[in-house]
Amino acid sequence: MPGIDECLLEAMRLPGARGAALVDWTSGLALGTVGDAPGGDHETTAAEAAELARMAAEHGTFAAHGDELPPVEDVIISNGDSYHLLRFVDTSFDSSVFLHLWLGREDGNLALARIRLGEMAARLVLG
């Protein structure tokens, strides 16, 4: 069964992966990081990504309608040279974490990465 580090290393094997982190969106703490971060600083990246994730998770506009569903699955940002994919991790205990994958736009495949990151998020907490 994968731990946090194995999960992040697996994410880094996706084509175009530049960096990955497991981040708590309430506090902005990076609980694990691998690879590079934009600007070279995982802590700043985690705090800023957490802010974005929190906005998405807390505003009803973006929430799925159904009590059994987690409010939000992914947040996707694209820019001129990269993609940022935030995948919420749905834990059976109370937590507020997401996986953050930073992908180069040249080599990255957003659709594939989205599916794989979702599988990794599930394996991380379900085994």
Partner 1 sequence: MVRTTPPALPVRDRQATRALSPMLTRLAEERATGVLVREHGVLYLAEGRVVHAESPHAPGLDVLLTAHGTLAGAAWQQAAAQTPGPLHAAELLLRSGILPTGALELCHLDALYDAGYFALAPSSTPGRFRYDPAPRPGPLPSVPVVALERETLRRRLLLHRLWPDPAADSTPLIRADPAAGRAPAAPVTPRQRAVLDRVDGLRTAADIARNLGRQAYHTLVDVRRLTAAGHVSPTAPAPPAPVPLPPHQVTTDPDIALLKRLRDALEAL
Residues lying near partner 1 in the complex (CB under 8 A) are found at 1-4, 7, 22, 24, 26-29, 31, 43-44, 47-48, 50-51, 58, 60, 71, 89, 91-97, 123-127
How many whole angstroms separate alpha carbon 125 and alpha carbon 127?
Answer: 6
Give the residue with the Cβ less far from partner 1, 39 or 80: 39
Give the residue with the Cβ less far from partner 1, 2 or 104: 2
- Output the six-digit token pair for 18: 């530049």
Give the residue with the Cβ less far from partner 1, 4 or 110: 4
Give the residue with the Cβ less far from partner 1, 48 or 74: 48
Residue 68 is given by DSSP the state T
> For residues 98 and 86, is the Cβ–Cβ distance under 8 A?
yes
How many whole angstroms separate alpha carbon 75 and alpha carbon 62?
Answer: 10
| Smallest distance from partner 1 to CB 105, Å | 26
